[in-house]
Structure 1
């Protein structure tokens, strides 16, 4: 099958390399030195799913009509990427692999003649350098759309992807998106401190902040009528516990997440963006919680403060010491 992958960063690069490894004809989009390196040396994958050099076609936009497309850009870049490739996407299944809550809805609006389905990548991958990606923690990818059973297009795309990496079509995709949003609560603190996700969750004071932001986010979801999907050991029942438990008890959940990550340091996608000097997705992660709270006529002060701290690091390119983070977040509570 001819497959297009729009955005060959950590997540998209992993998908592209693994689909190439099982025999698909893959074309990726990339820019700058990353594009030049892929054209010259191939796309190099390492880590939890083994090593592979994918000799994929590469350009700034898709050059040939694919049969299936994976949209894997950062959330803030998705609309522009869709418009750049729109002439080749009509009538196709487009799998939107993105963080946040609005990616699938946005794609469906921009591509009314395409079958858009969502995907949640739970594996952790790093964009090491131009042309190189590494999987630091292996995990599943979940596909679906809406609140009901997965549509036929999601089931078909899952079969293609599952031949290359663990993938499942799920019901209640909207609830699963919210659960992934809670999983992504661990992304901000590494971006603020420069530490790995494991180190931030291993620090008692930082873990308490993450737990507080997670609890706030979970409560917003429940107030919005969300029934959380089951991902990474998190269920609607466990998240109900997080929403009502005191912080000392709620910390059991981020500690469980830390154990699942294993020993390989996981920087998280937000810290990776900071290190590359790129805009982060924080407005679509913790910022999505703030936006959903506003829709309910309320505030989400902990998540709002975390968004502000990440934007500060984006502007200054200077990570904040743990003591400073704790002191500034103490004022929020």
Structure 2
């Protein structure tokens, strides 16, 4: 099958390499220094899925039709990337591999003739340079769309992906996106401090802030009428209990996430964007909670402040110490 991957970052390169290993014909879009690097060296994947080398066709934009497309850009770049390739993509089944809540809706708006799906992935991958990616956590991915049962089309594409990388079809995909958004609250504090996710969780004060942001996300979701989907051992009733429990008890959640990550430092996708001098997707993570809160006529002050601090680091290039971060919440 001819598969296009839009975006040659950490996840795009990972999926391209693993799908190519299953014999699919891969085309990957890339820009800047990444394009000649992929053309000459291919994609080298190391870490959790083993050592692999793939040599997909690398192009700046798509020129020929494909059977399936994966949108693997950062959330803030998705609309522009889809629009740029829409002449080829419209009518092609599309899977959006992204954090946040808006990816599938964006694809549907820009590609009205396409069948659009979302993929939630728990894979942690570190972008080491063009065509070089190290998987620090090999984990499950989840495919779906809407808030109902997984349909026949979802099951078809799940089977194709699952042959390359562990993938499950998911009911109540929208609810699972909110559950993943709770998990994505891991990203802001590493971007603000320059520390790994594991090190942030290891600091009592930062762990407490992370717990507050997660609890606030659950409360905003509930105020928005969301039925949280089951993901990574989290479920509607577990998250409701988490939001109601004392903060000291709620810190068990980030601590359990740190345990699952293992010992290989996980920078988180937001810190990786900063390290590459790119805009972060914080407005689609913590910022998404703030926007949803406004829509539900409530507030999300912790996530609003975390969003502001990530933008501050983006502009200044200077990380904050844990003490400085805690001081911004007093």
- For the aligned pair, the TM-score class normalised by the smaller chain equals over 0.9
Report the alpha carbon displacement of residue 118 of structure 1 after superposing the two structures with TM.
0.6
TM-score of the pair, normalised by structure 1: 0.98
State whether residues 11 and 121 of structure 1, in contact with CA within 8 Å, keep that contact through their aligned partners in structure 2: no
- Which range moves more in the overlay, 258-267 or 153-162? 153-162
How far apart are residue 237 of structure 1 and its match?
Answer: 1.7
The CA deviation at 1:160 is 1.0
The aligned counterpart of 1:326 is: 326
Is it true that 1:303 corresponds to 2:307 in the alignment? no
Could you list the per-position Cα deviations for residues 68-123 of structure 1 after superposition, in whole angstroms to 9, with x for gaps in the alignment?
11001111111111111111112221001111111111111111100001111111
C-alpha separation between the residues in 2 aligned to 1:151 and 1:73? Answer: 26
DSSP-derived class of the 2:33 partner: helix
Q: Identify the residue that residue 39 of structure 2 maps to in structure 1.
A: 39
Take 2:311 and 2:95, find their aligned partners in 1: how far apart are those partners? 29
Matches of 2:28 and 2:299 in 1, distance apart? 40
Give me the whole-angstrom Cα distance separating, in 2, the residues matched to 1:5 and 1:152.
Answer: 23
Residue matched to 2:186: 186
Tell me how far 1:185 sits from its aligned partner: 0.2
Corresponding position of 1:246: 246
Q: Aligned ranges for residues 1-333 of structure 1 at < 5 Å?
A: 1-329=1-329, 331=330
Name the CA distance, whole Å, in 2 between partners of 1:286 and 1:317: 20
Q: Which deviates more from structure 2 when the two are superposed, residues 177-186 or residues 232-241? A: 232-241
Partner of 1:62: helix, strand, or coil?
A: coil
Unaligned 5+ runs, structure 1:
none
Measured in 1, the distance between the counterparts of 2:156 and 2:51 equals 27
Q: Report the Cα distance in structure 1 between the residues aligned to 2:145 and 2:36, rounded to whole angstroms.
A: 35
Write the distance in 1 (CA, Å) between the matches of 2:146 and 2:159.
19
TM-aligned CA deviation for residue 159 of structure 1: 1.0
Q: Is the 8 A contact 1:5 1:71 kept in 2?
A: yes
SS of 2:328's equivalent? helix
Q: Which runs of 4+ in 1 moved over 3 A?
A: none
RMSD value, Cα = 0.8
Give per-residue Cα distances to partners, 1:159-186, cap 9 Å, x unaligned: 1110001001111000000001000000
| Structure 2 residue runs without a partner (length 5+) | none
Report SS of the residue matched to 1:32: coil
